[in-house]
Chains A and B, each alone.
Chain A
Amino acid sequence: MSAPLLDIRNLSIGFPAGKGEVLAVNDVNFSVAPRELVGIVGESGSGKSVTALAIIGLLPPNARVSGEIAFAGRNLVGLPQRQLRGLRGKEMGMIFQEPMTSLNPVFTVGDQIVEAVRAHEHMSLKAARDRATELLDKVGIPSPRRRLDDYPHQMSGGMRQRVMIAIALSSSPKLLIADEPTTALDVTIQAQLLDLLNGLREDFGTAIVLITHNMGVMAEIADRVVVMYCSRVVEEAGIFDLFDRPQHPYTEGLLGSTPDMGETAHRLTTIRGGMPNPADLPPGCLFAPRCDKAIAQCTTAQPPLFELGDGQKAACILAPKLQTEGAT
């Protein structure tokens, strides 16, 4: 495997809450190779969006970050805003969940793309407009030249998300972070956008970190998946291993609660209960209170992320692979 483009080591992010601090991200490790598409799944509040904002350096100022976010060999944690700004929009782009509110309502979309194009590259307004037209064409917007002068409210949600992608791609970034890019859109539009993202990966050679809570979306385009639960990584695996041999009961639960058209109809399984209050975490495995397989040992110590071979890792002392290896 080539040197990773993005290498996250022991990343923890805390926010002040009352007198203490609540960890939104707790000792997270994962890496993304060039051109790779890594998915991060987890429930709302699992820390996936905070991780994404940390990578692009847009965390609120009161966030306390420790650990390392190495991007193309450079650690971004603690880097001054001015240098982070030089990376943002140039080396990495980001698209957000809410296309309806992510574009400035008082400027034309052309204006907003041109701004992104010219943010990191000196070029004439005309050249930038040509580039913007080209980008709109690439993201599949018909008659792009005419659309440049549209205001965001004249476009549908799917169109606006395409504009957002065009902005994110304006200077051919090495890394694209997509935070639930399709959640707010119709299912048909979702599929089109996923296709688009996948195609762009080949055209631009961009690595993508895709954040979603939708396992179906993952199955469609991810190479590798990081499963987050309650601020921690609980499992990491290649897409096939993850679907065929999930090692963490939480992953199993997530897969079980995804509707499957291939099999005869059966009740969807759900994961009982909800995530623990981050300000009042149980001792031991954070998932133990909701886990059907939990044994006494689970509630005493937080399990580490075990290496299980083939790049698969899981933070569960009962991981099936761990059992078989332990036996031999």
Chain B
Amino acid sequence: MIGYTISRLLQAIPILLIVSLIAFGIIHLIPGDAATVIGGPSATPADLARIRENLGLDQPLHIQILTFYANLFQGDLGRSLLLGIPVTEAVLARSPITIGIAIYSLVLTIVFGLATGIIAALNHNRWIDQAATVFALIGVSLPNFWLALVMIVLFSVHLGWLPTGGYVPFTQNPIGWFRTATMPAVALALLQAGLLTRITRSTMLEVLSQDYIRTARAKGISEWRVVGRHALANVMMPVVTVLGLILSVLLSGSIVIETIFGIPGIGALLGNAIASRDYPMIQGGLFFITAALLLLNIVVDVLYTSLDPRIRVTGGK
């Protein structure tokens, strides 16, 4: 198990470097650069050239990426052009906000998705099942930014229940945190919950038709126990597999959602960085998100092996 984890962590390193390279290439495909943003509309070409020279933007691209890698191995992700503070510092300051909302959203996704999927499967082909299927389809089809806007119109503008945006740290005021974090979390969760409902429903239906479920029933244990223990333990495996996928969509979705709700998380940080061509910030922010996703996927895989004894043996202890 430990050997497996270490080898997965080592495999993640080349992936990170390649993703950084791709990100670097894409960033430089965006028209305009940081110098025009910093210099403003009144800057002369001479000013721009000076700014570029200061920032190292006049260097050839391959030198720039090699410089990035060289600094990276020293633990230095550079300094934000706009904020003037180290990228690492900016990311670490913002990440708790994003992580908090992501966890909230993940909890909503799992609770709602699992429950709906299981209830649908237990009521196979009845109206509850059909309602759940329709709900899942809607969840999967709705763009989350649209949902976010509709929720703002409904709950903030018309009903006035929740603020339209902003953010209150949990440590300062938990109720305030819930008031500001709920709509973003729900907007992010709905699509995932739809996805999870579908997977849970189909897996549960398949598991319920297995021979070992019949064995469990033949023991005379309660139906609750048959479903909640024997079936659920087997349903959890595919569900955990898609957790990695769900987490990646949660994090990438946060860029748009945080911008809509004015939440100062990593998503908004990255969104602003892209708008202002803050190259080190974009590069560093993407590096952090990639690293986080890789790490989460490794956690999911390790968790998976501990759920399924058959994999545990072949995967080595």
Q: Point out residues on A near B: beta carbons under 8 Å.
A: 56, 58, 81, 85-90, 93-94, 96, 98, 101-108, 112, 115-116, 119-120, 151, 153-154, 164, 167-168, 170
Partner of B220, one of A88, A101, A105: A88
In this assembly, does B216 line the interface, its C-beta being within 8 Å of a C-beta of chain A?
Answer: yes
The segment from B99-107, B277-285, B302-310 that touches chain A is: B302-310
In this assembly, does B172 line the interface, its C-beta being within 8 Å of a C-beta of chain A?
Answer: no
Residue on A nearest B230 in the bound complex, by CB: A104
Shortest CB distance B124–A (Å): 10
Instruction: Report the contact-size class of chain B (Cβ under 8 Å from the partner).
Output: 20 to 34
- Are the C-beta atoms of A58 and B308 separated by less than 8 Å? no
Partner of A167, one of B214, B219, B223, B308: B219
Residue on B nearest A168 in the bound complex, by CB: B218
Question: Are A104 and B218 also in contact (CB < 8 A) when A98-B211, A154-B313 are?
Answer: no
- Are the C-beta atoms of A104 and B220 separated by less than 8 Å? no
Q: Which of B287-314 contact A (CB under 8 A)?
A: 307-310, 313
Bound Cα distance from A89 to B222, whole angstroms: 12
Partner of B234, one of A96, A98, A105, A115: A105
- Are the C-beta atoms of A58 and B220 separated by less than 8 Å? no
- Are the C-beta atoms of B219 and A104 separated by less than 8 Å? no
Residue on A nearest B222 in the bound complex, by CB: A85
Partner of B221, one of A56, A89, A105: A89
Point out the residues of chain B lying under 8 angstroms from A154, CB to CB.
Answer: 313
Which 10 residue pairs of A and B lie closest in terms of their CB atoms, listed nearest first? A89-B220, A88-B220, A89-B219, A101-B211, A104-B212, A151-B309, A116-B219, A102-B211, A94-B218, A106-B233
In this assembly, does B215 line the interface, its C-beta being within 8 Å of a C-beta of chain A?
Answer: yes
Question: Are A58 and B212 also in contact (CB < 8 A) when A105-B309, A154-B313 are?
Answer: no
A-B contact pairs, 7 of them (CB 8 A): A101-B210, A104-B212, A104-B216, A105-B310, A106-B233, A106-B309, A153-B313
- Are the C-beta atoms of A105 and B212 separated by less than 8 Å? yes
In this assembly, does B50 line the interface, its C-beta being within 8 Å of a C-beta of chain A?
Answer: no
Bound Cα distance from A119 to B226, whole angstroms: 12
Partner of A106, one of B214, B217, B218, B234: B234
Point out the residues of chain A lying under 8 angstroms from B234, CB to CB.
Answer: 104-106
- Are the C-beta atoms of A102 and B212 separated by less than 8 Å? yes
Bound Cα distance from A119 to B220, whole angstroms: 7
Point out the residues of chain B lying under 8 angstroms from A104, CB to CB.
Answer: 212, 215-216, 230, 233-234
Residue on B nearest A103 in the bound complex, by CB: B212
- Are the C-beta atoms of A119 and B218 separated by less than 8 Å? no
The B interface is mostly helix, strand or loop, or mixed, namely helix
Residue on A nearest B307 in the bound complex, by CB: A106
Bound Cα distance from A81 to B220, whole angstroms: 10
Bound Cα distance from A168 to B214, whole angstroms: 12
Shortest CB distance B231–A (Å): 9
Residue on B nearest A170 in the bound complex, by CB: B219
Bound Cα distance from A81 to B212, whole angstroms: 19
Partner of B214, one of A81, A85, A96, A153: A96
Question: Are A119 and B215 also in contact (CB < 8 A) when A101-B210, A106-B233 are?
Answer: no
Point out the residues of chain A lying under 8 angstroms from B223, CB to CB.
Answer: 81
Point out the residues of chain B lying under 8 angstroms from A87, CB to CB.
Answer: 220
Bound Cα distance from A115 to B228, whole angstroms: 14
- Are the C-beta atoms of B219 and A119 separated by less than 8 Å? yes
Question: Contacts A81-B223, A88-B217, A89-B219 given; 13 further ones with Cβ under 8 A?
Answer: A58-B217, A85-B221, A89-B221, A96-B214, A104-B212, A104-B216, A105-B309, A105-B310, A106-B309, A153-B310, A153-B313, A167-B219, A170-B219
Question: Are A85 and B220 also in contact (CB < 8 A) when A104-B234, A106-B233, A153-B310 are?
Answer: yes
Residue on B nearest A58 in the bound complex, by CB: B217
Residue on B nearest A90 in the bound complex, by CB: B220
Bound Cα distance from A153 to B222, whole angstroms: 26
Point out the residues of chain A lying under 8 angstroms from B309, CB to CB.
Answer: 105-106, 108, 151, 153
Residue on A nearest B233 in the bound complex, by CB: A106
Bound Cα distance from A73 to B75, whole angstroms: 80
Residue on A nearest B216 in the bound complex, by CB: A104
Bound Cα distance from A90 to B211, whole angstroms: 20
Residue among B210, B234, B309 with the most chain A CB within 10 A? Answer: B309
- Are the C-beta atoms of B220 and A86 separated by less than 8 Å? yes
Residue among B220, B223, B307, B308 with the most chain A CB within 10 A? Answer: B220
Bound Cα distance from A56 to B310, whole angstroms: 31
